[in-house]
Amino acid sequence: MRVLGIETSCDETGIAIYDTEQGLLAHQLYSQVKLHADYGGVVPELASRDHVRKTLPLIQAALKQANLAPQDIDGVAYTAGPGLVGALLVGACIGRSLALGWQVPAVAVHHMEGHLLAPMLEDNPPDFPFIALLVSGGHTQLVRVDGIGHYQLLGESVDDAAGEAFDKTAKLMGLDYPGGPRLAALAEQGRPDCYKFPRPMTDRPGLDFSFSGLKTFAANTIAAEADDEQTRADIARAFQDAVVDTLVIKCRRALKETGLKRLVVAGGVSANKELRAQLHAFAEKIGGEVFFPRPEFCTDNGAMIAFAGAQRLLAGEQVDERVKTFPRWPLEQLRAPASGHA
């Protein structure tokens, strides 16, 4: 089965074609970073308009890359949520319309399920069950995964997501949008242990996260002491170390409580070099395994949507002719495909 995947949940237009026998055939991505940079963050209306301009040309480019014609596509998968409602509607309307015109089934994909399954696109995919750390600008969650659609939420952020805290702290430091990767780059120049930031909610039981207080601690430190470039780098290093340590502590706790030794890490923050290094070291120490998507599949992309959609289409799942999007869509509301395919 060849599936066209469409991702338009925020500020990237991602298109891909996935073949259930041959794997990924095409991958096209357009980032709106330059469009939103002057505003210091994503402007929803501008994002929606840009998706309108870019989605169809990228679909044409993906078909050309895969050397396929529309009649070679067996199904269409599009992100239906969570995300920006206008951006979601662009991808959903185009995806549903193409499916109707091509007379193939369509399926609505949960954005975070796409991230969760992104490591399945690699040569060494994880086996079920595993613990997933979903860590991005909008979500920080620990999920037990026993199969596709079999998700148990173990913990999540009660305020800012980790990626959101990265972006907000970067903005306080005067770094350009997108701030998270720029803060991580600055942290590479920082000296360890110059500043000691708190590791929030690690001194109590549970698997929930909180990064709002850490952001405030960083803001106060920046206001008081960030008067030269080296000090700014040291503060960035301390902030990143605190976030990474917190994520590692909670992952260790989740694996211990469940007795599992496989960890999947996905979402934009999973591209962070320090987080990857720390989790690889931890997994090796306990005799476990940790799985990451390749860097280009950490951020929003069409490949993960095409893959996730293909699994549900194979099981016979599809949507009717109505176009529905879900700006808020808890992952735990998803159900396993009816046939039990995984």
Binding-site positions for Fe cation: 111, 115, 300
Backbone torsions φ then ψ of 84, nearest 5 degrees:
-75, 125
Q: Which residues are annotated as a binding site?
A: 111, 115, 134-138, 167, 180, 272, 300
* CB-based contacts of 74, cutoff 8 Å, min separation 6: 1, 2, 3, 104, 313
Q: Which residues are annotated as a binding site for substrate?
A: 134-138, 167, 180, 272
* CB-based contacts of 53, cutoff 8 Å, min separation 6: none
Judge if the upstream peptide bond of residue 178 is cis by omega within 30 degrees of 0.
yes
d(CA 70, CA 213): 50
* CB-based contacts of 199, cutoff 8 Å, min separation 6: 242, 245, 246, 249
d(CA 310, CA 17): 10
Closest by alpha carbon to 179, among 165, 192, 190? 165
**Contact indicator for 145, 266 with CB cutoff of 8 Å:** no
Look at residue 62 and give its three-state secondary structure: helix
